[in-house]
A and B are shown apart, each in its own frame.
Chain A
Amino acid sequence: MELLSYVIRKLIGGIPLILGVTLISFVLMVYFGPDKTFELLSKNPTEAEIAQVRAQLGYDRPFLVRYAEYLKEMATLDFGFSDSTGERVSSILSRTIPVSLALLAPGFVLGNLLGIVLGLVAAWYRGGWVDKLIMGGAVVGMSISFLVVIVAFQALFGVVLGWFPVRGWNVHDLPSYAYYVTVPTLASVFVALGYNTRFFRAVLVEEINRDHVRTARAFGARPAEILFRNVLMNAMIPIVTRILFSIPLIVVSGSLLIESYFGIPGIGKVTFDAITSGDQPILKAVVGLTAVLFVLILIVTDILYRVVDPRVSLTGDAR
């Protein structure tokens, strides 16, 4: 009950964020977005024909009315059909989102896990050569562009070695999944690892200097135990925050480059195409979902905070 009322309060609190995201996307993608008038007209349209099509598209109505309309369609989940292919938006989404998730999940999990492990090792040996080596590697990793990594990995694994496909996504079972997902995964782990390791090391070092770590050492705890129970478990709040909040950005933004480069039909590519072609039904759906996803993540993080730290309470009174 406490949880339910909390979630409801949080959802209400998320409304300004949803309004903000939809407003900005409306202004950019719809109000100033591609003008489709002339696509619907014949060769030499008359003034009257133009005006008629504009009215039909709703371009002549005032800003607020159009925004309200946009919100209404979003709220009723009535996204209709894609302008360019005529396919149902909901079926486009249910086709492409799983592809993106399957494409990104291994890299996301591995990138974070490896980052945490490397961060722990570096923090434990802070100041020593192991730390310097790992952090030096992280700076190098951070300095290489995602695009360069993708091109290089594709050339290496697809062209030179020929182990993995150059493009495409023809997945029907586990081996074919592994076949198509490996190179994108390697690329995204490589790119994320530098940033992740640095972030995780910083929060872990913060914890490793705490008094309770010294206490654990004074009571004979092993390094592995200290790293897990005293260091990692106490750094969970920033770690959870970072990991969860990177999800929506990665699903929509991070997938874009990989999907366009490897020709994979995921949500990133679909959204990008929708922006450039002005396919508003798809944009509405994606933007609305992203905003809702953010609010949900806000709630999930708060609940997870309470799971990982007994001092946190959902009502927000204890420190």
Chain B
Amino acid sequence: MTRINQPHPVLRVDNLCVEFATTAGQIRAVDQLSFSVEAGQTLGIVGESGCGKSVTSLAIMGLLPKPAGRIVDGSVLLDGQELTRLPEGRLRQLRGAELSMIFQEPMTALNPVYSIARQMTAVLKRHQQLSARQARHRAIEMLARVGIPRPDQRIDDYPHQLSGGMRQRVMIAMALSCQPKLLIADEPTTALDVTTQAQVLRQMVDLQQELGTAVILITHDLGVIAETCDQAVVMYCGSKVEQAPVADLFLQPRHPYTAGLMQSIPRIREHKLDRLPVIEGQVPNLAALPPGCRFAGRCPNREDRCVQQQPPLTERGAQQFACFNPWNGPVES
């Protein structure tokens, strides 16, 4: 995929730590997470349910549920600007304009009592001092670009008159309408059927390429990662266990967890996976994490030190992984 070379990345997340206050005590949902995304690039984040993918994206957007969730450490730099210390009012001006987010459930993500036109133009008017007519014009143009037929008519529909795929396209159009620098897509296609899923993803990637937007794509589906991403981050229990360019990752996964994920992908994917393939064992409880590697309990390569010490991130070429005893063998599926 094309890569626009730029001196510094659009988004740089550094040592991000997010905690939740719960009845069971303080939970660390994201632990020392670092990654960066460049303009026009797509970064995939994979990991099991509950590993902190959504929390990461909400933390970047400054939308963690208050007062329970809090960024306790780390920084989020958008184009060199520190977001974690920005006052809410400033952050609000950035949301939808500089950084956008789309969510998993297209059926419920739009406000049911207003037409698509009302909702899309509201965003445009809010961020781009457009007149009502200009905003409408722009919204129709965006709808056309995400492949909605007869957008000048569809724009006056209400969400319930559109199919799930159409609604997700509307969300994508709305999210990209102000040409944000960064788009976070949290499982944008999980709720759609296979064919629609592919189409919607295609449309999103095309538009992103045209606009040069940096994308974080969160998914359960390694196939989606393979098809659409440049880089991939694998998360486990709130922290990054591996990161690599997608080609390297599929060629030689280093973390046994990644390898396990890949091993369980069926060769010929006839139906979409809405959850990750099953790996033996249980995810540890976030409220009582073991001192060592969090994956140790389920790891085939476990050594003694794995349960005593957390393995640090090791770099090998463009690939990073947190494992004492990395996977070397082939990945069979």
Residues facing A in B108-143 (CB within 8 A) are 108-115, 122-123, 126-127
Residues facing A in B75-125 (CB within 8 A) are 92-97, 100-101, 103, 105, 108-115, 122-123
Taking CB as reference atom, which chain A residue is nearest B111? Answer: A212
Q: How distant is the Cα of A220 from the Cα of B105 in the complex, in angstroms?
A: 19
B interface, size bucket: 20 to 34
Contact indicator B160/A212 (Cβ below 8 Å): no
> Given A218-B61, A219-B123, A212 and B110 touching (CB < 8 A)?
yes
With a cutoff of 8 Å between Cβ atoms, the chain B residues found around residue A234 in the complex are 111-113
With a cutoff of 8 Å between Cβ atoms, the chain A residues found around residue B237 in the complex are none
Among the 9-residue stretches A10-18, A64-72, A132-140, A305-313, the one with 4 or more Cβ atoms under 8 Å from chain B is: A305-313
Contact indicator A215/B123 (Cβ below 8 Å): no
Contact indicator A220/B113 (Cβ below 8 Å): no
Q: How distant is the Cα of A319 from the Cα of B159 in the complex, in angstroms?
A: 13
Contact indicator A217/B95 (Cβ below 8 Å): yes
Residues facing A in B141-175 (CB within 8 A) are 158, 160, 171, 174-175
Among the listed B103, B105, B160, which residue makes an inter-chain contact with A319, where contact means beta carbons less than 8 Å apart? B160
With a cutoff of 8 Å between Cβ atoms, the chain B residues found around residue A212 in the complex are 108-112
Residues facing B in A220-236 (CB within 8 A) are 220-222, 225, 229-230, 233-234, 236
Contact indicator A211/B123 (Cβ below 8 Å): no
Contact indicator B100/A309 (Cβ below 8 Å): no
Q: For the complex, is A128 an interface residue (Cβ under 8 Å from B)?
A: yes
Residues facing B in A226-260 (CB within 8 A) are 229-230, 233-234, 236
- Digit string of A196-218 for contact with B (CB within 8 Å is 1, else 0)? 00000000000000111011111
Q: How distant is the Cα of A127 from the Cα of B175 in the complex, in angstroms?
A: 31
Contact indicator A311/B160 (Cβ below 8 Å): yes
Number of interface residues of A (CB under 8 A): 26
Q: For the complex, is B63 an interface residue (Cβ under 8 Å from A)?
A: yes
With a cutoff of 8 Å between Cβ atoms, the chain B residues found around residue A214 in the complex are 63, 103, 109
Taking CB as reference atom, which chain A residue is nearest B88? Answer: A223
Q: How distant is the Cα of A128 from the Cα of B63 in the complex, in angstroms?
A: 17
Among the listed A218, A225, A236, which residue makes an inter-chain contact with B95, where contact means beta carbons less than 8 Å apart? A218
Contact indicator A310/B160 (Cβ below 8 Å): yes
- Digit string of A264-299 for contact with B (CB within 8 Å is 1, else 0)? 000000000000000000000000000000000000
Q: For the complex, is B317 an interface residue (Cβ under 8 Å from A)?
A: no
With a cutoff of 8 Å between Cβ atoms, the chain A residues found around residue B92 in the complex are 220-222
With a cutoff of 8 Å between Cβ atoms, the chain B residues found around residue A211 in the complex are 103, 105, 108-109
Contact indicator B103/A311 (Cβ below 8 Å): no
Q: For the complex, is A318 an interface residue (Cβ under 8 Å from B)?
A: yes
Contact indicator A210/B61 (Cβ below 8 Å): no
Q: How distant is the Cα of A8 from the Cα of B168 in the complex, in angstroms?
A: 41
Q: How distant is the Cα of A220 from the Cα of B89 in the complex, in angstroms?
A: 9
With a cutoff of 8 Å between Cβ atoms, the chain B residues found around residue A236 in the complex are 113
Q: How distant is the Cα of A229 from the Cα of B115 in the complex, in angstroms?
A: 12
> Given A234-B112, A310-B158, A311-B112, A220 and B101 touching (CB < 8 A)?
no
With a cutoff of 8 Å between Cβ atoms, the chain A residues found around residue B114 in the complex are 229, 233
> Given A211-B105, A318-B160, A217 and B110 touching (CB < 8 A)?
no
Q: For the complex, is B25 an interface residue (Cβ under 8 Å from A)?
A: no
> Given A211-B108, A212-B108, A215-B103, A221 and B126 touching (CB < 8 A)?
yes
Among the listed A127, A220, A310, A319, which residue makes an inter-chain contact with B123, where contact means beta carbons less than 8 Å apart? A220
Residues facing A in B166-198 (CB within 8 A) are 171, 174-175
Q: How distant is the Cα of A211 from the Cα of B104 in the complex, in angstroms?
A: 10
Q: For the complex, is B67 an interface residue (Cβ under 8 Å from A)?
A: yes
Contact indicator A218/B158 (Cβ below 8 Å): no
Q: How distant is the Cα of A199 from the Cα of B182 in the complex, in angstroms?
A: 41
Contact indicator A308/B100 (Cβ below 8 Å): no
Among the listed B94, B110, B113, which residue makes an inter-chain contact with A233, where contact means beta carbons less than 8 Å apart? B113
Contact indicator B96/A218 (Cβ below 8 Å): yes
Among the listed B101, B115, B126, which residue makes an inter-chain contact with A218, where contact means beta carbons less than 8 Å apart? B101
Q: How distant is the Cα of A216 from the Cα of B101 in the complex, in angstroms?
A: 10
With a cutoff of 8 Å between Cβ atoms, the chain A residues found around residue B111 in the complex are 212, 215-216, 229-230, 233-234
Contact indicator B112/A219 (Cβ below 8 Å): no
With a cutoff of 8 Å between Cβ atoms, the chain A residues found around residue B95 in the complex are 217-220
> Given A219-B96, A220-B123, A221-B126, A308 and B101 touching (CB < 8 A)?
no
Q: How distant is the Cα of A236 from the Cα of B112 in the complex, in angstroms?
A: 12
Q: How distant is the Cα of A211 from the Cα of B93 in the complex, in angstroms?
A: 20
Contact indicator A310/B108 (Cβ below 8 Å): no
- How close is A241's CB to chain B, nearest CB, in angstroms? 16
Contact indicator A128/B93 (Cβ below 8 Å): no
- How close is A162's CB to chain B, nearest CB, in angstroms? 48
Contact indicator A217/B63 (Cβ below 8 Å): yes
Contact indicator A215/B110 (Cβ below 8 Å): yes
Interface-centre pick from A214, A222, A236 (highest chain B CB count, 10 A)? A214
With a cutoff of 8 Å between Cβ atoms, the chain B residues found around residue A216 in the complex are 111
With a cutoff of 8 Å between Cβ atoms, the chain B residues found around residue A230 in the complex are 111
Interface-centre pick from A214, A220, A221 (highest chain B CB count, 10 A)? A220
Taking CB as reference atom, which chain B residue is nearest A231? Answer: B111
Contact indicator B113/A310 (Cβ below 8 Å): yes
Contact indicator A218/B63 (Cβ below 8 Å): yes
- Digit string of A158-193 for contact with B (CB within 8 Å is 1, else 0)? 000000000000000000000000000000000000
Q: Which 6 A-B pairs have the closest CB atoms?
A: A219-B96, A220-B95, A211-B108, A220-B96, A218-B101, A212-B111
> Can you report 13 residue pairs joining A to B where beta carbons are below 8 Å apart?
A211-B103, A215-B103, A215-B171, A217-B95, A218-B61, A218-B96, A218-B101, A219-B123, A219-B174, A221-B92, A221-B126, A222-B92, A229-B114
Assuming A215-B103, A219-B175, what are 16 further A-B pairs, CB within 8 angstroms?
Answer: A211-B103, A211-B109, A218-B63, A218-B101, A219-B95, A220-B93, A220-B126, A221-B126, A225-B122, A229-B113, A233-B111, A233-B114, A234-B112, A236-B113, A309-B112, A310-B158
A residues in contact (CB < 8 Å) with B? 127-128, 210-212, 214-222, 225, 229-230, 233-234, 236, 308-311, 318-319
